[in-house]
């Protein structure tokens, strides 16, 4: 761009003109700092990591780090363990949020308070939720105490709700449901309420109205919500160690990557696992997006 500006003569001015017609001129430089930043701190490290992943610890260049990951059942198992947590959590968060969001549509007293309360776990984050769950759902926690008091659980065998698969799943649900609820609510508010009235006047009952009008218009939003909660659940890290069973059932892939990085100092393997992790996530996202592209995605008649 600068080169063009410096050149003189009719040739240069016509090139500048043609570039300007396509929207290229010096004000575009405003975007340069952010672009340089992303290239330097995101793309470059990513490519560096990619390169590193092909330089296994034992030397040379090759697929050694990937081969080692796939040869070790304990390592490969992390993919399955991550999916076993992330997929049910993401599905549950979306499916549970839809009826709640439907009921809580429109204005009512206390809505602001309710949405504030729902936002709390998002801002508290996974670490604090884990700490709370350890106290609340632990062996001597209030949940078990309550279950014992009503004689649902034997005094000597309290329910094991934390330090296992369920603890992590609970923590994913506590932080994920509000997230999904808020997103779905905003998508719902984008659907013009008169569409539903129109369907009611044409004789559709609430089931039909939901399945024929709301659901098709909401589906792309549900897909987006699913993807975003999946990303959250997929990258589960602190809760997997704190309320899970980090050596066993909740040794998720991010933990494997972290251990390779911080405990084994095997940067090549760590990068390889991180790359695989990104790849697996992209595959799931691509599948959801592929499904979403088959849906109606135009205007939903309401406010954006």
Q: Show contacts with another protein in window 40-69 (CB under 8 A).
A: 41-46, 48-50, 52
Piece of 63-71, 73-81, 92-100, 160-168 that binds another protein (CB under 8 A)? 92-100
In the list 11, 59, 73, 103, the residue contacting another protein (rule: CB under 8 A) is: 103
Number of residues that bind another protein (CB under 8 A): 108
Check residue 125 for interaction with another protein (CB under 8 A). yes
What's the min distance (Å) between Cβ of 230 and another protein?
Answer: 10
Residue 275 engages another protein in binding (rule: CB under 8 A): yes
Which range, of 54-62, 71-79, 160-168, 230-238, touches another protein by CB under 8 A?
Answer: 230-238
CB of 204 to another protein, least distance (A): 10
20 binds another protein (CB under 8 A): yes
Q: CB of 71: closest distance to another protein in angstroms?
A: 21
Q: Is 91 in the site for another protein (CB under 8 A)?
A: no
Q: Check binding of 135 to another protein (CB under 8 A).
A: yes
- Indicate whether 10 belongs to the interface with another protein (CB under 8 A): no
The region of 4-12, 35-43, 69-77, 159-167 touching another protein under the rule CB under 8 A is 35-43
- Cα pseudo-dihedral 250, 271, 267, 265, rounded to 10: -10
Q: Per rule CB under 8 A, is residue 248 in the interface with another protein?
A: no
Residues 193-222 that bind another protein (CB under 8 A): 193, 196-197, 200, 205-207, 209-210, 220
């Amino acid at each position: 761009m600068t080169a063009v500006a410096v050149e003189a003569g009719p040739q240069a001015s016509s090139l500048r003109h043609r570039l300007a017609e396509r929207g290229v001129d010096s004000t575009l430089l405003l975007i340069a700092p952010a672009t340089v930043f992303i290239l330097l701190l995101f793309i470059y490290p990513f490519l560096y990591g990619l390169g590193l992943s092909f330089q296994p610890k034992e030397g040379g260049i090759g697929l050694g780090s990937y081969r080692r990951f796939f040869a070790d059942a304990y390592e490969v198992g992390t993919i399955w363990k991550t999916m076993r947590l992330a997929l049910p959590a993401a599905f549950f968060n979306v499916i549970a949020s839809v009826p709640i969001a439907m009921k809580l549509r429109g204005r009512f007293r206390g809505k602001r308070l309710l949405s504030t309360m729902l936002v709390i776990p998002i801002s508290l984050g996974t670490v604090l939720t884990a700490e709370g769950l350890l106290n609340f759902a632990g062996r001597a926690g209030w949940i078990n105490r309550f279950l014992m008091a009503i004689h649902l659980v034997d005094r000597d065998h309290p329910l094991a709700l934390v330090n296992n698969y369920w603890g992590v799943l609970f923590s994913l649900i506590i932080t994920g449901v509000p997230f999904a609820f808020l997103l779905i609510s905003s998508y719902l508010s984008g659907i013009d309420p008169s569409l539903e009235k129109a369907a009611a006047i044409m004789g559709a009952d609430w089931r039909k109205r939901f399945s024929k009008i709301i659901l098709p218009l909401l589906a792309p939003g549900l897909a987006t919500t699913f993807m975003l909660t999946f990303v959250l659940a997929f990258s589960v890290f602190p809760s997997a160690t704190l309320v899970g069973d980090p050596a066993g059932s909740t040794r998720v892939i991010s933990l494997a990557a972290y251990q390779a990085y911080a405990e084994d100092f095997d940067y090549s393997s760590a990068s390889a696992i991180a790359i695989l992790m990104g790849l697996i996530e992209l595959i799931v996202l691509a599948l959801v997006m592929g499904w979403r592209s088959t849906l109606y995605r135009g205007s939903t008649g309401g406010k954006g």
